[in-house]
Chains A and B, each alone.
Chain A
């Protein structure tokens, strides 16, 4: 079949079968179909059906004569059955008549002989207000679930604190290895580049005012207070947050979480708290690594483009960066990591609906974490400002 012909078929412009309309009376219509009607002809057939359905006013009966059909496939038979169902939905009697044995078999297979058809339920459009309402209720429901999860997690944490032996240490170690040791190279690289780029961008501006030495202040304070913990958290979110949500989600849909409960284990102390403890323990180390490597990137740029020696950079850095900057960054990073563990595990354990549900919850976890990180960062900035830190 040449390309032009196929294009015409798909567009319903080329018709290879016959469709003859005869008005037998003012209220009766006879449609006689003939030829070979296959999936390639479906577009043209549907076009004919739609044209007929658009002009049924005054009709009481439609007879579809199938005798001249040489061959019809399932897809086109389904369209004819739908045509009959739609006509019946408009109080127009419709019957199939005639047809070879092969055609009658297809008619039977697709329910063409059934006297009653199920009219398609009309999908009512949802108004914008209803959609906003549904979305609001959804957000409220998710918030309620998160608060419920947080409450249960606090109760479980208290239980683990009272009975430290109940902590699943195996998963704590695994989390530190996978989310910490395995993530260290990417945390180092990203933060080195952050310090490098920040120093490079600011170097030209500072040079104009003869304030090149202040590149150490800029890089040092930015990395320790803001970018070190934030970039570390974004990387942990992408690596471990998504992994936690997907892992727990898969366990939930494959009934492993239920199996765990039937063996006497509580999912929160056994699955969630170890991941949270692991992330919280490794956060200060990763933040310090991020700070140090970012400052190193800045020092490299200062040395190469601003002729600031590493010793001068270090002396200026000592006067610019206070212990509170470093400590506040560590606290920030630790809270970020706790939020990552909380949201990703909550989303993972809320998974329903198979593989699609796992994907949906993993996406929700990553988006929710990123939003929460920015929100917490803003909150920290305001709080530290209020206390003059």
Chain B
């Protein structure tokens, strides 16, 4: 059996004096689509930032692809990241965004970089958008361009922060299809933060659910099975969209 792509051991994290998660441990297998879910403010995106090495945990260990805690700067990217807003560099064209890391970390000629950029943009359905500025793209297109940038270095692991947030239903479904296609055809391991139930059930193979009150992982496993079999009222409430606010008439 191959080693897990991501191993997290007894991770405690937070910011300032606030602890968001205590002693959390989990593993993400190669080729998985792993979803981090939970209600607003439970620390999903913060956990993702810890996994990709943007934040330092209070304690615990994160091991990515057997190389230990990710060290981001000063080396070619080992995994791809798509941020919630896309985070494309606004002063560069879409093509320059995708080519950015390739130009820095490879010694490929300009023509070769251009060919890779065109192929990556075609992969996400953005053929011919190389010359456009991010401000000229719709929200869904910006997110797909961000995935193309994250895929530029042929990673076998990609992190996505709320990919379908703020998208219309059609764009959200298209993005889910793209994630499934990348996972199925390239064997890409996907770690995704979301609370969109449609996305969770459509693409998720495994998930963990974070809880704000107990600052812990309260459920883990196949999202479909969790929905039907979990006895935990917090899990059932999440999957069945039960609210705690008064029911208005």
Contact = CB atoms under 8 A, between A and B. Distances in A.
Contacts of B101: 263-264
Nearest to A174: B91
A262 B52 contact: yes
Contacts of A262: 52, 54, 72, 77, 80-81
A108 B90 contact: no
Interface string A76-116: 00000000000000000000000000000100110100100
Given A254-B87, A256-B89, A258-B87, A108 B54 contact: no
B90 A254 contact: yes
Interface in A302-327: none
A44 to B, nearest CB: 28
A109 B73 contact: no
A259 interface: yes
B157 to A, nearest CB: 12
Contacts of B88: 256, 259
Contacts, number: 58
Contact of B54 (A250, A261, A263): A261
Contacts of A250: 90
Given A108-B246, A109-B248, A114-B246, A258 B75 contact: no
Interface in B69-93: 72-77, 80-81, 83-85, 87-90
B100 interface: yes
A265 interface: yes
12 contacts: A105-B249, A108-B246, A254-B85, A255-B87, A258-B54, A258-B83, A259-B87, A259-B89, A260-B89, A262-B81, A263-B101, A265-B73
Given A109-B248, A259-B88, 14 more contacts: A108-B248, A254-B87, A255-B84, A255-B85, A256-B87, A258-B83, A259-B81, A260-B89, A263-B77, A263-B101, A264-B75, A264-B104, A265-B104, A266-B73
Interface of B: 49, 52, 54, 72-77, 80-81, 83-85, 87-90, 100-101, 104-105, 149, 246, 248-249
Interface of A: 105, 108-109, 111, 114, 250-251, 254-256, 258-266
